[in-house]
Amino acid sequence: MIRKAVFPAAGFGTRFLPATKASPKEMLPLVDKPLIQHGVDEAKASGIKDMIIVTGRGKNAIEDHFDVSFELEATLRKKGNDALLSVVREVTDDADFFYVRQNLPLGLGHAVLRAMDLVGREPFAVILSDDVIDAPVPVLRQMIDAYGKHGAGAVLAIQRVPREAVSRYGIIQGRRVARGVYEVTDMVEKPAPGKAPSDLAIIGRYILPPSIFRTLQATKPGAGGEIQLTDAIRSLIGRERVIGLVFDGKRYDAGTKLGFQMANIAFSLKDPEIGQGLRAFLKKEKLT
């Protein structure tokens, strides 16, 4: 039903400078996988095959990562290192990768619009790979299930956030239609805590109808002179059924230094190879 996922990855990642001066933020590793691979793996596990990555200058490492490395594979094969060979192969297995450039970083909405020709006339998913979600069922899978079940035109991943944090997010106004499912009646980008219609924040996973492209084309630059995705989704309301799904999972904002470190610690502690060693280190050095 949803076959394509768009990964906007053309931003400058300024919050990680100088690390992101010459390498993409999306390639920062969470334990041993780049952030964007976590997103791609989530899409694959949700039944999606076509990965459309919106890139820009200095993002070549992303294309190289999702390409076959003949020399590396030949070397690992020669050494008989089958375990690493399969780790390397899994990166590109079961998916096709497509790229489009966003020549100017004119905002998330503009990045999604750049994928219009590659998406065509079908509903699609958008994944912001710096929102890392550790979930028992991949969040996109949860959203695709809700999309089918509730006859929605668009699905937004939402999460309750503390009232004092609402001004960092797009916040929905909605009517609860089932457990964890809200029919979105309006949304506000980064409201002041007193002005927020709820404490339900939009997180970086979306299922969108192809009509969003027409809306994006007509969307004027909003906050920060950028074409905002939330502004375009807002104008879908009324024409399409837009629902918000409170997903089951723990989300980390790996687009900030603190969130990125939290995600790394949480994922490392769960990692079968290094979890025990890290726990022992934290205890020994009284870091917990």
Residues lying near ligand UTP in the complex (CB under 6 A): 8-15, 25, 54, 102, 105-108, 110-111, 128, 130, 255
Query: What is the distance between the alpha carbons of residues 176 and 276, in angstroms, rounded to a whole number?
Result: 42
Minimum distance, C-beta of residue 36 to ligand UTP, in the bound complex (Å): 8
95: left (phi over 0), alpha (psi -120 to 50) or beta: beta
Rg (the chain; Cα; Å): 19
Q: Which is nearer to ligand UTP, 9 or 152 (CB)?
A: 9
Q: Which is nearer to ligand UTP, 15 or 150 (CB)?
A: 15
Minimum distance, C-beta of residue 143 to ligand UTP, in the bound complex (Å): 18
Q: Which is nearer to ligand UTP, 24 or 76 (CB)?
A: 24
Minimum distance, C-beta of residue 225 to ligand UTP, in the bound complex (Å): 11
Q: Which is nearer to ligand UTP, 11 or 244 (CB)?
A: 11
Query: What is the distance between the alpha carbons of residues 71 and 91, in angstroms, rounded to a whole number?
Result: 15
Minimum distance, C-beta of residue 24 to ligand UTP, in the bound complex (Å): 8
Indicate the pairing of strand 250-253 with strand 131-134: antiparallel
Q: Which is nearer to ligand UTP, 13 or 76 (CB)?
A: 13
Contacts of 142 (CB under 8 A, 6+ apart): 135, 245, 247, 248, 249
Rounded to a whole number of angstroms, the distance between the first and last alpha carbons of the chain is 45
Minimum distance, C-beta of residue 45 to ligand UTP, in the bound complex (Å): 20
Q: Which residue is nearest to ligand UTP (CB)?
A: 11
Minimum distance, C-beta of residue 219 to ligand UTP, in the bound complex (Å): 13
Contacts of 264 (CB under 8 A, 6+ apart): 30, 31
CA distances 43 to 8, 21, 137, 255, 270, Å, are 14, 28, 11, 19, 21
Q: Which is nearer to ligand UTP, 151 or 224 (CB)?
A: 224
